Each structure stands twice: as C-alpha cells, then as structure tokens.
Amino acid sequence: MILAVASGKGGTGKTTVAASLALSWPGPVTAVDLDVEEPNLHLLLHPQTTGGQTAYMEVPQARQERCTACGACAELCQYKAVSLLGEVLLTFPEMCHGCGGCLAVCPAEALTPGQREMGQVLWGRAGELAVYQGRLRVGEAMSPPLMRRVMAKVQADGAAAAGDVIIDAPPGVSCPAVTAASQAQAILLVTEPTPFGLYDFRLAWQAFAPLERPLAAVINRAGVGDRKAYAFCADHGIPILAEIPYDRTVAEAYSRGVPACRASAELAGLFRRLAQDCQALVGGREAAHA
Amino acid sequence: MPEVLVISGKGGTGKTSLTGAFAHLAQSKVICDLDVDAPDLHLLLRPRPRRTEEFYSGNLAVIAPERCTGCGECQARCRYGAVREKDGVYSIAPLGCEGCKVCVHFCPAQAIDFPVRHCGQWQVSDTRLGTLVHAQLFPGQENSGRLVALLRQQARELARAQGAELILSDGPPGIGCPVISSLSGTDLAVVVTEPTLSGIHDLERVAELCRHFRVPAAVIVNRYDLNLEHSQAIGRWCADNGLGLPARLPHDPAFTEAMVRQQTITEYKQSPLTDEIRRAWSQITSLAGLPKAA
C-alpha cells in the first residue's frame, strides 16, 4: 500500500513520523519525499544517493519565421505564456504549465517543444530502505509536476509492487499537498494540540476527506496546548493512532538528524505499533467493505 | 512604504507567532496574512471583518454527459491525468484539473464546459493591532500565487489610504508559487529558522530564493538553545553570506501559552524573551528603513 504522511500546518513532525515509520515498518518499504520545495526526509534517513535525473517540463519555443500570426496559441493559453505582439510571437517559459495546448493548436508548427528545468529526482538506499526525493529548482514556482515525476519513477522501479511506500507530503492543503495525498491509498495526518495545529488540521481534513481514503491521526507534542484536537477527532470519527509526548530530548535528537524512533526505547515501540496500525488502515477498510 | 515579509522555508519555526509580536510592536502598519493556504495569524488577532470578497481564479473543465460521445480525446490530450473513464463514461477530477482548456478546445463534440473556478474568500478586517488583510483558499485549490498578489495589492492601497508606514506580512512556508508571489518586490524578508538540520537546509534554499529575487534578508534563529552548535553554524553562515541576524530566541512554552489565549507573545507577558523580540523588531525596522520608534 501507499501511505501519505501529511499535515495542514508545517513543522508538526510530519517528516520525523514518516522517517520513523519507514525505519519501523514490518516488511519491505520505500520512503518518498514529495515535499519537493523543502525536502528534509534525507536529513533523517541519511541515504546513499545512487542515482538521479533532472526533470524538465515541456514548454514552447517560438519559431518566428513560421508564424502566421493567427493568434490561436495566445487565445488558448490560460497562463499568458504565449502572446502575439503585433506579428511578433513571444513565449514566456516561466509562466508555462506544460499543458501542450499551444504546440497542438498551432497550424504552422511555429511553436516547437523546449524545456524548462523543474528540479531533480534523486534515489538511493539507507540500508534495506529505498529512498526517493524530488528537489525543486530554486526559483521554480510549480511543484506538482515534479512530484508526479518522482512518483512515476517510484512506480517505474516497481517499488509499490515490491512492498509498501511511505510518502512524506508537503505541508498545507492546496494543490501540492492534495497531489501528494491523492497518490496514496491511506493518509496519516500529523498534528499538534495547539490552536494553529487544530485550525490547519481541520483544513487538512476538509481537503483530504473528499479523496475517500482511510484517514487517521497522530498527535505530536502531546501535552502542550489544549485538548481541542482530541475533541475534533472524536467528533469526526478520525482514529488517533498514536500520541507522541512532548519531550525536549526528542527535539534535540531531531536537530542532529536522529528520527524520533531512535530517540528512546519507548518511542521505538510506539512507532513499531504505529506501523502495524497504519498497515491495517487499508486492510481494515477492504475487510469492512467485503 | 516598506514591505516586510516573515518567511521560513521550513514550516513550524514560529513564523506566525513572531509576525503577531511584530504586529503588536509596529507603530503604523497594515498587517497581511499571505499564507492563504493555511492561515493562522487571525487566531492571534481575532479579526472583525469589514469587507468580504469572493476569490475566483482560472477555470475548471467539466464534461457534460448528455453531449459526450465517449471518444476519449480529452483523456488522450490531458497532461495532468485528470480525465477518468469508468464503463465508457468520462469525467474530470476537479482537484486534478489544471484549467488549461486543452480538452475544451479539442473536444470534437463541444461537450466540455469551462466555468470559472471559485477558489476562496478574502477579507479586510479590523483588529486590536490594526487593519488585517487576509484570505482563505478553499482546501485543495490552486492559484494561491494570484490570491497572494491580490492581497498585497489591497494591502498597499489600504496602507496608502491610511498613511501607514509599513506593510507587515506573514508568508507561506516553502519556496514555491505562493512564496515567490509573496517575495517579489518586497523590501525585507525576515527568515525564521531553527537550529536543526532541516531548519538549516531550508534556510539555505529560501535565502537562495531571496537572492534570486534580489530581496534583502535577515535571519532569526528560534529555539537556538535546542542545538548550540548548529545555532553558531547558522550565525557564521549568515555572516559569510552578508545576512543580518537580528535575534536568537530561546525555546519557550510561553509561545504556545500565548497562542492558546489568542494573544501575541509580547502582549501575553514581559520576559527576557519578549525583550529580545523587541530588540529584534527595532533592528528589523532600521534594516527596512523605517523611522525609529519613539
């Protein structure tokens, strides 16, 4: 199964939960960092990178000598990436979303495929664990196309067939987070019991519930803030699979690149149980539907 | 009038709590929450909406089943994998649709409608600390860059009308579309980081983004006592890269206590921590070219 570890609010412990789950997983597993804007999973898993490729988006290039100034490309483009200034054909590759519409609609082949670098897809191993990540080029605005490219590589390598896949999703609840969550069969939301945590957790639930995937929660830094996150989970039937108590030594370990599951024997046990409960998320649902 | 943007790269470093404190300390300002995806500043400022507007951006392709002949042209053309087919019936997943119009244009049966997409709401509100411009994108929506640009435009107009000295903005995490939209043309970026490997990694990327858009940046290390070695390394890195370091703040549960009480940390209680935040704000105002507070 593919499990996405997500959160509304940033900094709730998503990456340390994803890394700890991958290290505690009972069986073959692949860890995938889809937080391509700020990929951090490798800082906890310390993989040896064994390969990588640059990912490009197809963008139009103008061939002025062929242009008949019909304007069909500029009319179709929704992103102002192609325009006609009088009879001069202009392209703005940074604005392009790579839909291919202008290339298909031009009757004169005056637009030809070019490339814009989106970032890197990297892969490697940390012991038994296969690790993938996307790294968005600094200055690139769009992350979902690179995220899809990372998942395509994971699928092409047969990771989902060989075992389970854990995705570290980007924070937030807009298109990048939904792109990551929609790749998964189950979603684990990590929150903290604070007003900011709860507000963003509610948004995340609103964003991900329509995907109709089994959804469960982990409460990190339990003991700080208030109890409202617990009430929200109870009211909306969201199972809380684990509570990670607030502990300064965990935060200090994290600062050095040590994931929570390696911070204490108690937490090692907590993540082993959490991994089993996460595996049961998909199985349980299938059984319930049978 | 200067625009100061608080960002972080990594989420959860204390960006919004510090923006709240600065909003309390700044004299004459318009406050702006540019994290339109997961906005939290309103939880400290308790806004009273003065004006509410709907936000529409882009379009959405919708197949009209009564006109669809089931030829599959749309699915073959869609680069986003948004077109689904089940038992010969085609539909478009709204969350997957990029609004590119390619399927609409090439559908031989003109069976695809292209309505405008209702993406969220934005508001101008009164708060005890001044005017707040803020928004909420509906969960799962895109185009947050355009909404960010709209909020910044509104904030500028309000600031001019009020004769405000400053626009203070809470930015989104990451380095993508909404961050770029928040950053371009701003006068000073205050990057809040923490002394963790992730914090340092994300600081380097967001600082590179600031350089890319030629925006001066200053750094605040939050929870510096979590790892003194990394805090020193961040200090050296800032010095080597010509970035100001207005403050190093200790880990303090008072941030969460203030948040639970819907207060900014400087309103909540006076402490060595809040003295340090006041010193930081004074440095930020001079970096941003603002007149010294009386």
A226 is a domain residue: yes
A137 is a domain residue: no
A146 is a domain residue: no
A104 contact residues in B (CB cutoff 8 A): 77, 102, 106
ipTM metric: 0.93
A8 contact residues in B (CB cutoff 8 A): 38
Mean pLDDT of A123-139: 97
Tally of domains in chain A: 2
How far B177 CA sits from the closest chain A CA (Å)? Answer: 4
CATH value at residue A68: 3.30.70.20
Mean pLDDT of B133-137: 97
pLDDT of residue A161: 87
Mean pLDDT of A158-180: 93
pLDDT of residue A36: 98
Per-residue pLDDT of B16-62, as tens digits, reads 999 999 999 999 999 999 999 999 999 999 999 999 999 999 999 99
How far is A170 from A180, CA to CA, in rounded Å? 7
Instruction: Please give the model's pTM, rounded to 2 decimal places.
Output: 0.94
Residue B191 in this model has a pLDDT that exceeds 90:
yes
pLDDT of residue A244: 97
A140 is a domain residue: no
pLDDT of residue B260: 96
How far is B3 from B1, CA to CA, in rounded Å? 7
The DSSP letter of residue B292 is P
SS (H, E, C) B195-258: CCHHHHHHHHHHHHHHHHCCCCEEEEEECHHHCHHHHHHHHHHHHHCCCEEEEEECCCCHHHHH
A6 and A76 assigned to the same domain: no
Chain A residue with minimum CA distance to B253: A224
CB B33 within 8 A of CB B122: no
B100 contact residues in A (CB cutoff 8 A): 78-79, 97, 99, 101
Give the domain-ending residue among A102, A117, A132. Answer: A117
pLDDT of residue A284: 52
Average pLDDT, rounded, for chain A:
95
Residue B294 in this model has a pLDDT that exceeds 80:
no
Residue A137 in this model has a pLDDT that exceeds 50:
yes
User: In one letter, which amino acid is A276?
Assistant: Q
A158 is a domain residue: no
Chain A residue with minimum CA distance to B179: A141
Q: For residue B216, which of B123, B287, B121, B271 has the smallest C-alpha distance?
A: B287
- Say whether A97 and B16 touch across the interface (CB within 8 A): no
**Which residue range(s) make up the domain with A169?**
2-27+163-289
How far A162 CA sits from the closest chain B CA (Å)? Answer: 24
Residue A290 in this model has a pLDDT that exceeds 50:
no
CATH value at residue A168: 3.40.50.300
A64 and A10 assigned to the same domain: no
Q: For residue A252, which of B233, B13, B198, B226 has the smallest C-alpha distance?
A: B226
A126 is a domain residue: no
A224 and A279 assigned to the same domain: yes
Mean pLDDT of B100-108: 98
Q: How confident is the model at residue B141 (pLDDT cuts 50, 70, 90)?
A: confident
pLDDT of residue A17: 98
A155 is a domain residue: no
A266 and A190 assigned to the same domain: yes
Show the CA angle centred on residue B277, arms to residues B47 and B289, nearest 5°: 85
Q: Which of A11, A100, A203 sits opposite B12 (nearest CB)?
A: A11
pLDDT of residue A287: 40
**What domains can be seen in chain B, in order of their start residue?**
3-56+120-287 (3.40.50.300), 61-114 (3.30.70.20)
pLDDT of residue B293: 55
Residues shown for chain B: 294
A168 and A239 assigned to the same domain: yes
pLDDT of residue A160: 86
How far B118 CA sits from the closest chain A CA (Å)? Answer: 14
A274 and A204 assigned to the same domain: yes
A98 and A170 assigned to the same domain: no
A113 is a domain residue: yes
Q: How confident is the model at residue A43 (pLDDT cuts 50, 70, 90)?
A: very high
Percent of chain A at pLDDT exceeding 70: 98
B102 contact residues in A (CB cutoff 8 A): 76, 99-101, 104
Task: Return the structure tokens found at A260.
Answer: 């929570």
A82: β partners: A91
